[in-house]
């Protein structure tokens, strides 16, 4: 029996290898015409993205029917015990699932980080598990949206296709954008808004080379979803229009209100998350308490359960009292904050649409009461506020305008919508600079607005770039000695130290040069201490390189002294050149990881790939004798004749991401520790990474090594 299973397994591996080979051959034939390849890839990703969106929607409906015995539409007749139990149970299941599988994934921010820092490499398993957690969250009544995980699924599809087709980093990111756009478009029936969402949020780039394939994927996904789910708008609204020119001013005021409420929404979300970071409970139990709180709120206001499309429809038709609408604004913010702040999975666009709809409905009722006959119905303001509130939280004005237009099919309110959205976006950016997505990344020390350069420098510290060679002088050194040493030295700064090598001050080339004109008149009068600068800042090995570059912009020096924080002993110097060398090495390291990673994904276990006449490459489990030692200490290259190109993890369910998140939330570590922990988390989360010389090899590591064929054969047999 065991022999039979072994034969079946071997047969399966052979068939899988042949399938990959044929797929690669077909892709290479398609590549002969670049445009055909990109269009075909966009169409395929659009089809798969639509399939993922449809499957995700059906999964939510199935879980909802099981959890509530027929769906949330019958929640009015539900018992108190059911309303409390179902969200609580959903939170418990989601907490366990996230804790043991997807702790490092946070939906759209994770996709944005992958595009910005990892070349668009996304693990499909994480996307599937995140989507399952979100489906359970929505199906059991927790207050989240489905746009985050569905964009994650689409992005993972695009990333997987990019790896299989061995594309470069630029095309990999484009395919990720195609997948995300396909998922959003199929979910909300918004082909243009889906494409713009991907360009504005995921890629942050509107280049034509990316725009065309992303639009193709979005349109294909929308066409497929309309075939299976129907061609009706996502939200049914009555006809609305502008009754009086004064309404344009009223819509501008609505934009101000949306910005204030949207800022409150984002602050409440992360404020609750910070509070949960201090709660002495296991992480897998925290979403359960969030579900319990949502259930408690739902006892009073059951409209907050789930996405809430039915309540939004009633608000758009002006069927709800303004008092209830105003209360639901804050109840939905609280429910969503409890859900996501406790650690559950889901998106924020759908809750933002709900909050905006309630806010606009209440505002419209008030305007109609104060200015009867002048303004439109409350439903018109509810519709406009939906777009304004979404834009105030995610800062995507173009996407928000087109999303509301495509979701409703109402063009009459496009001008009021544009006014409110622009006002809301501008004011919310003033009140709170980061969006709800970039706030998450900033807590990981990833700043997308400052570009890749800042993020790379922030991931490096002074200890990785400084040198230990420097010129020291005693404080009583005479001027003629300084001039003699300056003529013989290549350094432009001398550092004054005491007998215990503690840093005292800096003597710069400019200070010495300013005294050269006085010649012998100052001999025996001026010493090093008299012309030294004592106000220059020092740095330590734990400081990040982006802080060093900020200091260079403020001080006119060529290098800064590196000292030990406690003893102030001078241990090295760091210059602009040292910083740039470290940046270039790290950038090359990340590019190498991205390019080789595509190749590694197609390797079978133990498969040796010939790189030339006598060189080869193979992926092996870390030998037992390597574990626990650094690459520098092992001297693998000199002892074994091979070079470690990449490392990946067999199991990546580490607790580092959770620990780093707790440090960032509680603030109990300094900035350098946060950066180092965040860098470790990012490294552990990558599919592949290029190890540094001080990296400690672990038992779960898988090494990609290259060298002469004889050396490869030896290390395989270790």
Q: What is the pLDDT of residues 44-96, one digit of tens each?
A: 999 999 998 898 888 888 898 888 876 565 444 677 888 899 999 999 998 88
From the list 98, 152, 99, 95, the residue with the least C-alpha distance to 123 is 152
pLDDT at 2: 53
pLDDT at 360: 93
What does the alpha-carbon distance between residue 417 and residue 432 come to, in Å, rounded to a whole number?
A: 22
| Total H helices, total E strands in the chain | 29, 9
What does the alpha-carbon distance between residue 585 and residue 593 come to, in Å, rounded to a whole number?
A: 12
- Contact, 375 vs 244, CB < 8 A? yes
- Calculate mean pLDDT across residues 686-713: 78
Token code pair at residue 72: 């949330």
DSSP 51-109: HHHHHHHHHHHHHHHHHHTS-GGGGGG--HHHHHHHHHHHHHHHHHHHHHT-TT--SHH
Domain 247-282+298-442: give its CATH architecture. Orthogonal Bundle (1.10)
Percent of the chain with pLDDT over 90: 18
Q: Which of 181-195, 230-244, 505-519, 655-669 has the lowest mean pLDDT?
A: 655-669
pLDDT at 103: 57
Q: Packing angle between helix 397-408 and helix 414-431, nearest 10 degrees?
A: 140
In terms of average pLDDT, the best of 12-16, 441-445, 463-467, 523-527 is: 463-467
What does the alpha-carbon distance between residue 377 and residue 240 come to, in Å, rounded to a whole number?
A: 8
- Intervals of CATH 3.10.580.10 along the chain: 462-579
What does the alpha-carbon distance between residue 250 and residue 370 come to, in Å, rounded to a whole number?
A: 12
pLDDT at 260: 96
Whether domain 20-229 has CATH 3.40.50.1980: the reply is no
- Intervals of CATH 3.30.70.1450 along the chain: 603-716
- Contact, 460 vs 583, CB < 8 A? yes
What does the alpha-carbon distance between residue 627 and residue 653 come to, in Å, rounded to a whole number?
A: 19
In terms of average pLDDT, the best of 157-161, 218-222, 642-646 is: 218-222
Helix (H) or strand (E) holding 562: strand 559-563
Percent of the chain with pLDDT over 70: 77
- Intervals of CATH 1.10.3080.10 along the chain: 20-229, 247-282+298-442
What does the alpha-carbon distance between residue 238 and residue 383 come to, in Å, rounded to a whole number?
A: 10
545 CB contacts (<8 Å, ≥6 apart)? 457, 458, 460, 461, 462, 465, 579, 582, 583
pLDDT at 676: 45
Per-residue pLDDT for 296 more than 80?
yes
Task: Write phi, then psi, for 561 (nearest 5 degrees).
Answer: -75, 140
pLDDT, greater one: 20 or 521: 20
- Calculate mean pLDDT across residues 28-52: 78
H runs (alpha helix) in 501-543: 509-513, 528-531
Q: Superfamily assignment of 603-716 in CATH? A: Regulator of K+ conductance, C-terminal domain (3.30.70.1450)
Q: What's the chain's average pLDDT?
A: 79
Tell me the HSE value of 245 on the side-chain side, using a 13 A CA sphere: 0
Token code pair at residue 80: 């108190």
Q: Which of 158-162, 166-170, 224-228, 577-581 has the lowest mean pLDDT?
A: 166-170
pLDDT at 665: 40
**Count of all residues that appear for the chain in the document:** 718
Q: Render pLDDT for 269-288 as a digit per residue (tens, 0 to 9).
A: 999 999 998 888 888 899 99
CATH for the 462-579 domain, from 3.10.580.10, 3.40.350.10, 3.60.20.10, 3.20.20.210? 3.10.580.10
3-state helix, strand, coil in the chain (%, to 5): 65, 10, 25
From the list 533, 35, 435, the residue with the least C-alpha distance to 200 is 435
Task: Write phi, then psi, for 494 (nearest 5 degrees).
Answer: -115, 145
C-alpha dist (Å) from residue 228 to 157, 234, 681: 20, 14, 40
Q: Which of 110-124, 307-321, 361-375, 640-654 has the lowest mean pLDDT?
A: 640-654
pLDDT, greater one: 578 or 93: 93
Token code pair at residue 709: 């064929």
């Amino acid at each position: 029996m065991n022999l039979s299973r072994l034969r079946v397994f071997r047969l399966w591996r052979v068939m899988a290898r042949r399938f990959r080979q044929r797929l690669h051959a077909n892709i290479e034939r398609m590549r002969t015409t670049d445009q055909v390849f990109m269009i075909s890839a966009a169409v395929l990703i659009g089809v798969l993205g639509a399939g993922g969106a449809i499957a995700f929607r059906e999964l939510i409906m199935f879980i909802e029917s099981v959890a509530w015995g027929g769906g949330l539409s019958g929640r009015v007749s539900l018992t108190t015990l059911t309303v409390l139990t179902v969200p609580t149970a959903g939170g418990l299941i989601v907490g366990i699932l996230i804790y043991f599988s997807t702790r490092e994934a946070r939906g759209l921010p994770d996709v944005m980080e992958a595009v910005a820092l990892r070349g668009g490499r996304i693990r499909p398993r994480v996307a599937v598990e995140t989507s399952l957690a979100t489906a359970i969250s929505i199906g059991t009544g927790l207050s989240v949206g489905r746009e985050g995980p569905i964009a994650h699924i689409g992005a993972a599809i695009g990333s997987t296709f990019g790896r299989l087709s061995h594309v470069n980093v630029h095309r990999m990111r484009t395919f990720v954008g195609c997948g995300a756009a396909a998922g959003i478009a199929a979910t909300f029936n918004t082909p243009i808004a889906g494409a713009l969402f991907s360009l504005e949020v995921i890629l942050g780039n509107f280049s034509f080379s990316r725009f065309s394939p992303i639009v193709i994927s979005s349109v294909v996904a929308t066409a497929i979803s309309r075939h299976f789910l129907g061609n009706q708008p996502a939200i049914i609204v009555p006809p609305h229009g502008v009754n009086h020119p004064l309404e344009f001013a009223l819509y501008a005021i609505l934009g101000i209100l949306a910005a204030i409420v949207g800022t409150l929404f984002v602050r409440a979300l992360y404020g609750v998350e910070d509070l949960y970071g201090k709660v002495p409970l296991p992480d897998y139990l925290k979403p359960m308490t969030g579900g319990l709180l949502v259930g408690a709120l739902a006892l009073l206001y059951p409209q907050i359960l789930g996405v809430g499309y039915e309540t939004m429809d009633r608000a758009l038709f002006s069927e709800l009292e303004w008092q209830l609408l105003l209360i639901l604004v804050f109840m939905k913010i609280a429910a969503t904050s409890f859900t996501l702040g406790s650690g559950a999975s889901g998106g924020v666009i759908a809750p933002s649409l709900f909050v905006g709809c309630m806010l606009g409905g209440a505002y419209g009722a008030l305007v109609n009461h104060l200015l009867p006959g002048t303004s439109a119905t409350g439903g018109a303001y509810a519709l406009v506020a939906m777009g304004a509130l979404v834009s105030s939280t995610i800062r995507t004005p173009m996407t928000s305008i087109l999303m509301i237009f495509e979701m409703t099919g109402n063009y009459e309110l496009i001008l009021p919508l544009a006014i409110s959205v622009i006002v809301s976006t501008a004011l919310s950016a003033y009140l709170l600079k980061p969006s709800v997505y970039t706030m998450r990344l900033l807590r990981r020390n990833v700043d997308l607005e400052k570009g890749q350069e800042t993020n790379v420098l922030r991931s490096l510290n002074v200890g990785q770039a400084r040198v230990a060679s420097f010129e020291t002088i005693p404080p009583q050194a005479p001027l003629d000695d300084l001039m003699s040493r300056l003529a013989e030295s290549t350094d432009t700064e001398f550092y004054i130290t005491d007998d215990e090598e503690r840093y005292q001050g800096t003597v710069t080339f400019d200070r010495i040069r300013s005294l050269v004109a006085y010649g012998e008149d100052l001999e025996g009068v001026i010493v090093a201490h008299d012309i030294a600068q004592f106000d220059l800042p020092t740095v330590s090995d734990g400081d990040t390189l982006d802080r060093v570059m900020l200091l260079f912009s403020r001080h006119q020096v060529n290098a800064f002294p590196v000292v030990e924080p406690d003893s102030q002993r001078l241990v090295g110097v760091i210059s602009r050149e040292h910083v740039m060398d470290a940046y270039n090495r790290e950038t090359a390291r990340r590019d190498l990881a991205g390019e080789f990673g595509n190749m590694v994904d197609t390797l079978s276990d133990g498969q040796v790939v010939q790189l030339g006449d006598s060189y080869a490459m193979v992926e092996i489990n870390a030998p037992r004798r390597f574990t626990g030692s650094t690459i520098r200490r092992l001297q693998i290259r000199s002892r074994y004749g091979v070079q470690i190109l990449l490392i990946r993890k067999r199991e990546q369910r580490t607790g580092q991401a959770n620990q780093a998140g707790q440090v960032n939330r509680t603030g109990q570590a300094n900035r350098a520790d946060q950066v180092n922990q965040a860098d470790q988390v990012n490294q552990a989360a990558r599919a592949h990474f290029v190890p540094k010389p001080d990296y400690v090899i672990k038992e779960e590591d898988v090494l990609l090594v290259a060298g002469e064929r004889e050396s490869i054969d030896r290390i395989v047999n270790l």
